[in-house]
Amino acid sequence: DRAAAFSAAVLAASPDAIVVDELISGRSVYASRMAAEIVGETAGVTDVALASAGAQPEDQHRLAEALAAVGDLSDGQVLQVRYRSRDAESGHRWLSRRITPFRRDEDGRPVEILSVVRDVSDIVAAEETLTHAALHDPLTGLPNRTLLSDRLTGALFRARRHQQEVAVLFCDLDGFKRVNDSTGHAAGDAVLVETARRLRDCLRSLDTVARVGGDEFVVIVEPLDHGDTVPMPTARQLGESVARRIVATVGKPVVVGETSQSITVSVGLAFAGGAGDAEMTAEDVLRDADAAMYRAKSRGGDRFEVCDPGLQSDLTERGRVASLLRHAIASSSDGVDSPGMSTAPPRGRATCAGALDVAYQPIYDADTGRLAGFEALARLSDSGGTPVPPDVFINVAEEIGLIRPLGMQVLKQACGALARWRSTLPDADHLTMAINLSARQAHHPDLVDEVLAALAEEHLPPDKIVLELTESVLIQAGPSTVKTFQTLHDAGVGIHIDDFGTGYSSLRYLVEFPVTAVKIDRSFTAGLPDDPTSLSIVRAVAGLARDLNLGCTVEGIETVEQQSSLPDGVLLQGYLLGRPGPASSAEQTILAHQTAK
């Protein structure tokens, strides 16, 4: 009849498989056209045990549970189960099966059930992609912070149950900012991808490594009991050996295109889940590991440190540096650094105050051996006089928005020092002072006024001041920044490109930007005299600078061999010729230079 023909047509046309199974025997009494394809069931085929109809072993229990629950359904109620079925081609496919009672016996118990089965492999794949994207870092493919917290929470749970600690390692690359700033993001990305690969290589497959920030990675190491008779290493032993391996492996140079990037890593280790710390959350462990990492960083990086109770109760190192900086900058803006002051660094009144000071490193003319000037380098020390590495506090100052006041203080102090030397020491008139500018300062609209005011205050000729910028500043420079530097350049201020030579697109800026000199990155100097690539780059850049009528400084000269392999016409800077020192030693350098001639 028409009704039967209609439903037959609908069933035949449906992209879903429609199957009626006898519950007790598991025999299919009806199967639509698509059933053979989707479920592999055909009507009348006996001994298709329903509970395992095509389902993969690991999913059979789901199907079995669903079928057991069908008995409780009233008519029209539907139960849904998703499982994988074996598929000759792709291994498995995902099926979604909606089940409802179809025919009941006198007692009302279902004897036949109807299933609508749909192939949802595409949907599951899309879902997996989405979940993966939500839980992984797209660049390295590693788990992200969300997945990390999940895994860490699970690891802490297991740790407590087995009374066996887990180790958490917080890894932060040293000098990554420098790679990114001087070589650009593509090279930075390549370094991160390579670092991720190396971290994986340092671990067993069951360990987790996640990327939780720009150049920050977290590793979870769980000592797992294999039931071996040999004593199992503790989390501490495992953690330390993994940390050691990471520092050694990640610290090897990374080759990116033509250049080799020297990258090291600071690792902080923390443990949790032992008998003592039932309360520790994933957040707590991460904070401890992070604090230990900062300690590793402040001890020079390229090492690991273990979180200890002292560190836990301490402020994190970052917090400590931030408060040192706040104190140092607050106490200096009280007018302590006014012109004519002694060379003593401004000291805060509070005993916990950090002191911000400037060190001066001499720069020489290679051809004449003459002292050409100094680079001003910011120095921060705590109340005990222990210095904080510039790479650490410059970063913190940038993070907490203090880099501009810090830079201003360096600028004023350095201008004051140069003015004093010019008026009190012989043969100091030609000396220049180089000041480092971070991006935030360079892009600020007040920069011109601030620099010119600092010069005017000390009655310094503008051409005795040099501003050092990294290529990243130039890369990000919009028209207003170009204008800023054009104005400064027109006033006579020198503009040098710091860390030059590692950028693949660096040459463009020499033409488009008002640059007066380039400063060849010290990673090239480090390769001299034996590495032919470094040598040819140094020579090419020096030659290019000469052709473009630009100055050229080679920094990081540590050995006589390095110095003697340099081309003519460059300025020299490095430990071999003079380390950065306080104003008093800069004065001595100027005087010694006088008598030496």
Interface with ligand C2E (CB under 6 A):
361, 377-378, 390-391, 394, 407, 410, 436-438, 468, 498-499, 522, 555-558, 573-575, 580
Residue 464 is given by DSSP the state G
> Which residue lies nearer to ligand C2E by CB, 301 or 574?
574
Tokens of residue 247, six digits: 């520092």
CB of 125 vs Ca ion, minimal distance in Å: 49
- Alpha-carbon distance of 208 to 218, in angstroms, equals 8
CB of 168 vs Ca ion, minimal distance in Å: 34
- Alpha-carbon distance of 481 to 431, in angstroms, equals 27
CB of 546 vs ligand C2E, minimal distance in Å: 22
- Alpha-carbon distance of 104 to 490, in angstroms, equals 95
CB of 558 vs ligand C2E, minimal distance in Å: 4
Pick from Ca ion, ligand C2E, none: which does 416 bind, CB < 5 to 8 A by kind? none
CB of 468 vs Ca ion, minimal distance in Å: 4
Residue written as token pair 């035949």: 12
For residue 154, count CB atoms less than 10 angstroms from its CB and return exposed for 0-12, middle for 13-18, buried for 19 or more: middle
Can residue 181 be called a binding residue for Ca ion (CB under 5 A)? no
> Which residue lies nearer to Ca ion by CB, 39 or 359?
359
Binders in 471-500 for Ca ion, by CB under 5 A: 498-499
Site string for Ca ion, 535-564 (x = CB under 5 A): ------------------------------
Residues 68-106 as b or e (16 or more Cβ within 10 Å = b): eebeeeeeeeebebbbbbebeeeebbbbbbbbbbbeeee
DSSP per residue, 126-167:
HHHHHHHHHHB-TTT--B-HHHHHHHHHHHHHHHHHHT--EE
- Alpha-carbon distance of 486 to 130, in angstroms, equals 48
Cβ neighbors of 544 (< 8 A, separation 6 or more) are: 507, 510
> Which residue lies nearer to Ca ion by CB, 95 or 439?
439
> Which residue lies nearer to Ca ion by CB, 238 or 497?
497
Can residue 305 be called a binding residue for Ca ion (CB under 5 A)? no
Is the CB of residue 578 less than 8 Å from the CB of residue 361? yes
CB of 498 vs ligand C2E, minimal distance in Å: 5
CB of 93 vs Ca ion, minimal distance in Å: 58
Is the CB of residue 319 less than 8 Å from the CB of residue 294? no
Pick from ligand C2E, Ca ion, none: which does 394 bind, CB < 5 to 8 A by kind? ligand C2E
Backbone angles phi, psi at 596, to 5 degrees: -65, -25
- Alpha-carbon distance of 517 to 512, in angstroms, equals 13
CB of 367 vs ligand C2E, minimal distance in Å: 20
> Which residue lies nearer to ligand C2E by CB, 239 or 494?
494
CB of 378 vs Ca ion, minimal distance in Å: 11
Among 85, 436, 438, 589, binds Ca ion (CB under 5 A): 436
Pick from ligand C2E, Ca ion, none: which does 557 bind, CB < 5 to 8 A by kind? ligand C2E
Can residue 468 be called a binding residue for Ca ion (CB under 5 A)? yes
Pick from Ca ion, ligand C2E, none: which does 6 bind, CB < 5 to 8 A by kind? none
Pick from Ca ion, ligand C2E, none: which does 558 bind, CB < 5 to 8 A by kind? ligand C2E
Give kind and range of the element (H or E) at residue 289. helix 282-298
Q: Is residue 413 classed as helix, strand or coil in its secondary structure? A: helix
Pick from ligand C2E, Ca ion, none: which does 390 bind, CB < 5 to 8 A by kind? ligand C2E
> Which residue lies nearer to ligand C2E by CB, 203 or 526?
526
> Which residue lies nearer to ligand C2E by CB, 388 or 428?
388
Pick from ligand C2E, Ca ion, none: which does 361 bind, CB < 5 to 8 A by kind? ligand C2E
CB of 580 vs ligand C2E, minimal distance in Å: 5
Cβ neighbors of 275 (< 8 A, separation 6 or more) are: 163
> Which residue lies nearer to Ca ion by CB, 102 or 374?
374
Alpha carbon 399 to its chain centroid, in Å, reads 14
Pick from Ca ion, ligand C2E, none: which does 143 bind, CB < 5 to 8 A by kind? none
Stretch that binds Ca ion, among 59-67, 121-129, 467-475, 529-537 (CB under 5 A): 467-475
Furthest-apart CA pair in the chain: how many Å?
A: 119
Q: What is the crossing angle of helices 185-201 and 235-250, to 10°?
A: 140
CB of 169 vs Ca ion, minimal distance in Å: 30
Stretch that binds Ca ion, among 35-43, 335-343, 433-441, 528-536 (CB under 5 A): 433-441
Pick from Ca ion, ligand C2E, none: which does 157 bind, CB < 5 to 8 A by kind? none
- Alpha-carbon distance of 57 to 45, in angstroms, equals 21
Pick from ligand C2E, Ca ion, none: which does 580 bind, CB < 5 to 8 A by kind? ligand C2E
Return the C-alpha torsion angle 396, 397, 400, 404, nearest 10. Answer: -160
> Which residue lies nearer to ligand C2E by CB, 145 or 326?
326
Pick from ligand C2E, Ca ion, none: which does 292 bind, CB < 5 to 8 A by kind? none
> Which residue lies nearer to Ca ion by CB, 70 or 356?
356
Residues 492-512 as b or e (16 or more Cβ within 10 Å = b): ebbbbbbbbbbbeebeebbee
For residue 254, count CB atoms less than 10 angstroms from its CB and return exposed for 0-12, middle for 13-18, buried for 19 or more: buried
Give the residues across from 19 on adjacent strands. Answer: 31, 115
* Residue 169, CA distances (Å) to 203, 395, 475 in order: 12, 21, 34
> Which residue lies nearer to Ca ion by CB, 178 or 318?
178
CB of 482 vs ligand C2E, minimal distance in Å: 20
CB of 316 vs ligand C2E, minimal distance in Å: 21
Query: What residue ranges bind Ca ion (CB under 5 A)?
Result: 436, 468, 498-499
